[in-house]
Chain A
């Protein structure tokens, strides 16, 4: 009835923008939220609501804006 929100955060492990975006994703309230953390060279986060996804963002501020929408 209502879509799932899937927040995927990729990036290097340890401190840095990916870690901050991962924490922000966990701290955000959304019913039916799924947070996926992946290891990659560069930080990037996408937010998919149902079957439509955002373009990747690279900073916690950009992710916060996406999640407020």
Chain B
């Protein structure tokens, strides 16, 4: 029998409808039930593109024994983080404060008032060798603690909440100073990996905003600080050569598991790619590096090919890593045999040398599978056309494979971000079709998402949720881009209008007991059901 997720619009929630866990969607009904039944809440926040969410679904939430414990001792809520970034932001902070790590799947245990008392990310079904406790044991222990030591659990949850509100609120009042800016740049420099580019070590995320920030710092210093340019150059080049870039289809996967950018987690996100598109375009504008233009062109081509719905004027959200549970990105990778079967002997030799395609590849689940990453340039000028022909054939062969799921939910914030990046691309790459599509998307956002009383909705074509900061701010920013690109004053007016309602809403006091979907609009820390005042004040 399907649980209550079957009628949810989210593809991720729908995919859990067959699970034996009696999932409830986020909402008052779930919290009311927890209060009435005096049970703790298990909150699972995931996403359709999230590999380890699917792993945990398969290992634990589809297991009848686990479901029995959950259904007996907990009220279970499943949330799609793309649909509810406000709920996600709030609980990520709390779990991070508790366990030192965040991410997805987010597994949080709450009191019926919505306060976190324990949490983590992925839990294996049984205790594993990395020292992570097994989910089964965790559930038994938490159910016991809640039954036998409820007062202590509730007190702890309040203390955690106070800690999160007081110390983890990143927004602080005060003017921006030169020291603040140079301090931020210095911190980025300390995290910079001089060998492979990027920040920190494995796993490596792109951080395009840091790149744009350092590029601006370098430019403001009139080219004075060479290290700022070096970070920009090396990071953008490292990512462009790595397997984190989809060399055949264009665009970037979400992150690399290694410090050399070679083996990615293969899901491709709209918001990462729109920010990366801007970073590569800006760096090309500032530095003139041809590779950066190629990379930007690849992102645009991928978006037009896979993510854009030109008729309805919308950009999709994400493309999954895997076709089936546990294939670990087989769609994107190649055995030597798969590659050579598509190519002439010369093409195969050149492609194998450039992309390091060998009998043994980089993937753990299947040692024969190679990630395409740019190990070295073709050996001579006459090899370049051979390589281009090989890449075209490999792309055509990949296009004949069954492709991973594309989530076509049209989120307003991410559509606006991509529209803005496309307006920059239209000018810098001189591709008017990018402008045309971006303006159509923005027109749709204006006519379908905007409401004068409550701001932007979060999803095109759905009236709720609405009024979140990101949707309004990203739309306003994209309307400004449209104003610059077209000179039409109505776009400037739309930008001014779109950014005003959340400010008005933030001054309102939320009604107690109501989960305010615009909580994140007011500074990042959302309000718990029934507990709103303190966080709201702190968030201002």
Contacts and interface: CB of A to CB of B under 8 A. Distances in A.
Interface in A22-42: 22-23, 26-32, 34-39
A29 B285 contact: yes
Contacts of B427: 23, 26-27
A1 B285 contact: no
Contacts of A26: 424, 427-428, 484-485
A36 to B, nearest CB: 7
B178 interface: yes
B178 A1 contact: yes
Nearest to A28: B285
Contacts of A31: 215-216, 219-220
Contact of A27 (B177, B178, B428, B486): B428
A60 to B, nearest CB: 13
Contacts of A22: 487
Interface bin, chain B: 10 to 19
B2 interface: no
Contact of B430 (A23, A30, A35): A23
Interface string B259-298: 0000000000000000000000010011000000000000
Nearest to A7: B484
B176 interface: yes
Interface in B182-238: 215-216, 219-220
A63 to B, nearest CB: 14
Given A27-B285, A36-B487, A2 B220 contact: yes
29 contacts: A1-B178, A1-B181, A2-B220, A22-B487, A23-B427, A23-B430, A26-B424, A26-B427, A26-B428, A26-B484, A26-B485, A27-B427, A27-B428, A29-B219, A29-B282, A29-B285, A29-B286, A31-B215, A31-B216, A31-B220, A34-B484, A35-B484, A36-B484, A36-B487, A37-B484, A37-B486, A37-B487, A38-B487, A39-B487
Given A29-B282, A29-B285, 4 more contacts: A27-B285, A29-B286, A30-B219, A37-B484
